[in-house]
Structure 1
Amino acid sequence: MTQTIGVLALQGDVREHLRALASCGVDAIAVRRPAELAAVDGLVLPGGESTTMVKLARIFDLLEPLRERVKDGLPAFGTCAGMILLADRVEDGAPGQETVGGLDITVRRNAFGRQVDSFEEDLHVEGLDDPVHAVFIRAPWVEEVGPGVETLARVAAGPAAGRIVGVRQGHLMATSFHPEVGGDTRIHQMFVDLVRRG
């Protein structure tokens, strides 16, 4: 049976994630409504602007259903702002910033700096043989992880060397970078495999 994986389609690289997921052999759908959320076996929360995404999720009556489904075990994968949305704790957040939660991590919003500080780096990712070319755009990083969280990737060089930029905890995964950019679908495949195991 083919899995159906949704992409939260409120903002961000929705089309790119849908394309990457489809190339991994799943049915990929855009999710904007609670009924669409109820129909998926997994969900990608893309990059964008985390505070705007929470506001839009509330407007579309998706925020509470999202929290419930993640709490109930829906596999979810957050990239960049999506990582912030899945985090239990946020440093440098907007006043009163809310998240979906579920990942026992503390993230620092815009940790690498402004848009002009965006960069690319080849990263070693746990479970993959060859490096992943990672694109960071106004990205967060993980300040600390809880005991059940596995670190998947760290920045290798430069002033941010050693910073955690990829994590997995049970049915949840998150990266600071944008794996939907550039045509390498191995990170998406890791998530698809997690959904299939679920």
Structure 2
Amino acid sequence: MTVGVLALQGSFNEHIAALKRLGVIGVEVRKAEQLQDVSALIIPGGESTTMAKLAGYHNLFPSLREFVKMGKPVWGTCAGLIFLADKAIGQKSGGQELIGGLNCTVHRNFFGSQLQSFELDVSVPEIAATEGGPPNFRGVFIRAPGILEVGPEVQVLADVAVHSDRTANFDSVESSEEIPGSEKKVIVAVKQGNLLATAFHPELTADTRWHSYFLKMVKETSEDTSSSTASSAGIIRLPQPPKYDLPIYQQ
């Protein structure tokens, strides 16, 4: 299993180091043709506008969109989440190009500026159930986005409470899960088919459970592909019998 990490800017080295701790090869991806050699892709956190400009400069967007459409596993963290979203708001003038595929609306700087970065214990029942360990994960939120809306096919893996007096973008949250005391919940981690996305940075912690969870997605996808190929290869096609023009017997 070889996992590509988009290495245009941001915390790609940290993702590669986390994969190495799990015994998996992580390779830097900067060109479209390199996507042909990897089983899956991680889009790291960083400065999303800068990453988008570099991806456009290297003409990566068509290949990245095709990679997603092919059903190969892709995980976006922070800026990577913004890239995968079908819709992003709160962007700079002119916006930025997106890969898309993840049926959600993301607010680009939902939790504020760089100075408002923080760490928070996030409840992760799905991760704890599949990967073990404690029920919470120490989320590192750096100028982090927030997921405002998701489609019906999107599985919510984690959300956090936000306060009206602490979050400038509180009114943009249309959460159906209101909390008493001027609080709402904003989604910070989701899964949709072959796509995984987190608003925080698991690669900046020693806890590799999110990476392990993603690798299980990669393995399942590889097994499904192998099974499909094997099934096709197992079909025995018998040759058609030759046709003979025999004379018609008449009495």
Secondary structure of the structure 1 residue equivalent to 2:185: coil
Aligned residues: 196
Residues 67 and 100, structure 1, Cα contact 8 Å, conserved in 2:
yes
Residue 38 (structure 1) shift = 1.2
Which residue of 192, 215, 221 maps to 1:192?
215
One-letter amino acid of the structure 1 residue matched with residue 141 of structure 2: F
Which residue of 72, 75, 93 maps to 1:74?
72
Residues 127 and 213, structure 2, Cα contact 8 Å, conserved in 1:
no
Higher mean alpha-carbon deviation, 90-99 vs 68-77, is at 90-99
Residue 158 (structure 1) shift = 4.6
CA distance in 1, matches of 2:12, 2:103: 25
Secondary structure of the structure 2 residue equivalent to 1:155: strand
Instruction: Assess, with a 3 A threshold, how the Cα gap between structure 1 residues 114 and 66 changes in structure 2: closer, same or farther.
Output: same
Which residue of 177, 193, 214 maps to 1:170?
193
Query: CA RMSD of the aligned region, Å?
Result: 1.3
Which residue of 1, 25, 28 maps to 1:27?
25
Residues 106 and 149, structure 2, Cα contact 8 Å, conserved in 1:
yes
Higher mean alpha-carbon deviation, 28-37 vs 122-131, is at 122-131
CA distance in 2, matches of 1:77, 1:45: 6
**What is the TM-score of this pair, normalised by structure 2?**
0.75
Structure 2 counterpart of 1:10: 8
Structure 1: which 5+ runs fail to align?
Answer: none
Instruction: Assess, with a 3 A threshold, how the Cα gap between structure 1 residues 99 and 157 changes in structure 2: closer, same or farther.
Output: closer
Higher mean alpha-carbon deviation, 33-42 vs 162-171, is at 33-42
Residues 162 and 186, structure 2, Cα contact 8 Å, conserved in 1:
no
Secondary structure of the structure 2 residue equivalent to 1:162: strand
Highest RCO, 1 vs 2 (Cα 8 Å, sep ≥ 6)? 1
Which residue of 116, 138, 142 maps to 1:137?
142
Percent identity over the alignment is: 50
